[in-house]
Amino acid sequence: MRIPDRVLPAPRRGDLPEPVPLRKMVGPSIILVGLSIGSGEFVLWPRLTAEWGFALFWACWIGVTLQFFLNMEIERWSLATGESAVVGFVRLHRAFLPIFLICGTLPWVWPGWASGAATLLHWETSLPVTPTAIGGLVLCGLILSAGPVVYRTVETVQFALVTVIVLLMGGLAFTVVDGEHVRQLLAGALRVGHVPEGVHLPMLLGALAFAGAGGSVNLAQSNYIKDKGYGMGAYIGRITSPFTGREEAASEVGIAFTPDEANLARWHVWWRRTNIEHFASFYLLALLSLALFCLIAAALLEPGAEVAEGFGFIRDEAVAIDERFGTLGRRIFLFVGVAVLFSTELALLDAVARVAADLLDTALLGRRGPGLSRLYFAVVWILVANGALVLGLGFDQPLALIVLSAALNGFVMFLYSGLLLWLNLTSFDPPVRPSAVRIVALVVTFVFFGYFSILTLYDRLFGS
């Protein structure tokens, strides 16, 4: 391996641990699916479906497919070195530390998910939106601070979320969706490249970024597999609560495995099982949930009718459910929406804080710093305070906040997809290096998000 050591010390060497059974690897990808349900699946793609039918569903499945390959290259770096992908970027050049500190936090300073959860709750309880949203943010911070090992807390919440949402939305889809809706979805999936005139490009770019988890939070997959103990991540300490957990010793730099015959044999098993886990837990579940939410929106909202502003289309869905199934059906739908958006805000705070803390800890390498866990919790509560400030200043329109965050993250994905390909191609020996298929997938991802980012920027600058 030729891991860059111009900026950071070279990783120490060690043996790759014995692969664990596949059933014990499930978890990190479920967290990403939970993130995606609260952003693209529940909000952006159903709204696009309400406005344009299934004309854009081709972009939906392409976005998920590209994210699968992108996420696996993120996992490749951590699996082989025990480092997060953002630390790998810093190895390429020290300028990437401030760049990704900004790119990893700026798109997420808008608390659209907390505001969205409070909006849905307001419809049923008349609780004021802004104080409720701020209270939700504080509750997220307390939950992340309470569990001894943060990863286990987030994994438990997301497991429960994904299970409940898929079951309830699957049951709803079974009762309201008919064969014609499915036929239209399949037809839209095949119309690759078709963008109807008048589509709101920032929303489309955001939906593409959020067809899956989206943006910089995909980079947190590095941290999740480290805390789960995948590959060389088993040697790196986990983030623990300074209030309820015992601090774990963490290596200041990664631990790369020696590419001898025994380690390469273990590598191939780890890589195969990691791909299977991500394909089943992320790719298939993300596609299923996207299809379910889009089909439900198409079935509940009248075709061709004017779509309500903001989150109004979700209220229209709830009204349609009320007409068919009564008050209980409406309340279940809306409270599921509250749970989806609230848990997404929780997972986003965790993911963004992980990426930022990793970068800050890297910046303090060799100095007497507070440590990764304390940096993580400092970032969590700074994000909570910032979100409360944004909401208090009156920026409380959830759809506008989510679209802004998503569009910014589309540009971030364009940036790091190219860097990730360069990092993995130049750092690893052929047995560990990306295959030709994966190289093509990363090049397509780079071009795909680059094209839509430039198109969106042009539209904002010169569009009518």
Report how far residue 216's alpha carbon sits from residue 109's, in angstroms, rounded to the nearest whole number: 13
pLDDT greater than 90 at residue 405: no
Which residue type does 155 have? E
Region 398-403: mean pLDDT is 70
pLDDT at 38: 67
pLDDT at 270: 97
- The pLDDT > 90 percentage for the chain reads 41
CB burial readout 121-133, b (16+ within 10 A) else e: bebeeeeebbebb
255's enclosing H/E stretch is strand 255-257
Asked whether 70 and 286 are in contact (CB, 8 A), the reply is: no
By CB neighbour count within 10 A (0-12 exposed, 13-18 middle, 19+ buried), where does 371 fall? middle
Region 290-300: mean pLDDT is 91
Higher pLDDT, 305 or 129: 129
* Residue 14 φ then ψ, to 5°: -165, 180
pLDDT at 248: 61
194-to-56, 188, 452, 455 alpha-carbon distances in Å: 7, 9, 13, 14
| pLDDT tens, residue by residue, 315-370 | 999 999 999 889 988 988 898 888 888 888 888 899 999 999 999 988 887 677 67
Measured torsion, CA atoms of residues 432, 436, 437, 441, in degrees rounded to the nearest 10: 90
- Strands (E) in 83-194, as ranges, are none
Indicate the pLDDT class of residue 304, thresholds 50, 70 and 90: low
Higher pLDDT, 402 or 426: 426
Average pLDDT value over all residues in the chain? 86
Which residue type does 187 have? A
| pLDDT tens, residue by residue, 406-424 | 677 778 888 899 999 999 9
pLDDT greater than 80 at residue 215: no
- The architecture of the domain spanning 12-433 is Up-down Bundle (1.20)
User: Which of 346-355, 420-429, 443-452, 455-464 shows the lowest per-residue confidence on average (mean pLDDT)?
Assistant: 455-464
Indicate the pLDDT class of residue 242, thresholds 50, 70 and 90: low
| pLDDT tens, residue by residue, 422-433 | 999 999 999 999
- The pLDDT > 70 percentage for the chain reads 91
Asked whether 59 and 204 are in contact (CB, 8 A), the reply is: yes
Indicate the pLDDT class of residue 460, thresholds 50, 70 and 90: low
pLDDT at 18: 94
Higher pLDDT, 156 or 109: 156
pLDDT greater than 70 at residue 157: yes
pLDDT at 427: 94
Higher pLDDT, 413 or 456: 413
pLDDT greater than 80 at residue 211: no
Token output for 230 = 């995948």
Indicate the pLDDT class of residue 243, thresholds 50, 70 and 90: low
Indicate the pLDDT class of residue 39, thresholds 50, 70 and 90: low
| pLDDT tens, residue by residue, 46-63 | 888 888 889 999 988 988
pLDDT at 245: 54
pLDDT at 208: 74
Asked whether 53 and 188 are in contact (CB, 8 A), the reply is: yes
* Residue 445 φ then ψ, to 5°: -60, -45
Report how far residue 40's alpha carbon sits from residue 289's, in angstroms, rounded to the nearest whole number: 10
